[in-house]
């Protein structure tokens, strides 16, 4: 799924694009064939991963490729718009 509007998309739309996703319950989702659209840790925009597990219950994002796993704890910043 290509991000339709980076400025106002969901949080995951602001981090990566994906082909498919599955609802894992309680706000957790598994995304497939993802491509980063911005810098994440040491990974540049354009870096591809086989899967991304979005764990909304504890703010983790787990990226996987073959036998590698990269775990990120997500923190947000906010900008008041109104």
- Per-residue pLDDT tens digits of the chain, which is 82 residues long: 555 444 557 788 889 999 999 999 888 999 999 999 999 999 999 999 999 999 988 889 999 998 999 999 988 777 787 8
Domain membership of residue 57 (yes or no) is yes
Domain membership of residue 2 (yes or no) is no
Domain membership of residue 29 (yes or no) is yes
Domain membership of residue 6 (yes or no) is no
- pLDDT computed for residue 5 by the predictor: 44
Could you give the CA distance from residue 81 to residue 41 in angstroms, rounded to a whole number?
27
**Cβ neighbours for 26, distance < 8 A, ≥ 6 positions apart:** 56, 57
Q: What three-state secondary structure class fits 12?
A: helix
What's the whole-model pTM score?
0.81
Domain membership of residue 80 (yes or no) is no
User: How many domains are there within the chain?
Assistant: 1
Domain membership of residue 27 (yes or no) is yes
């Amino acid at each position: 799924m290509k991000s339709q509007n980076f400025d106002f998309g969901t949080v995951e739309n602001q981090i990566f694009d994906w082909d498919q996703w599955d609802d894992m319950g309680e706000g957790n989702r598994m995304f497939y064939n993802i491509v980063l659209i911005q810098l994440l840790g040491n990974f540049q925009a354009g870096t591809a991963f086989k899967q991304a597990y979005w764990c909304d219950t504890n703010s983790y994002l787990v990226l996987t490729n073959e036998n590698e796993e990269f775990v990120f704890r997500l923190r947000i910043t906010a900008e008041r718009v109104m």
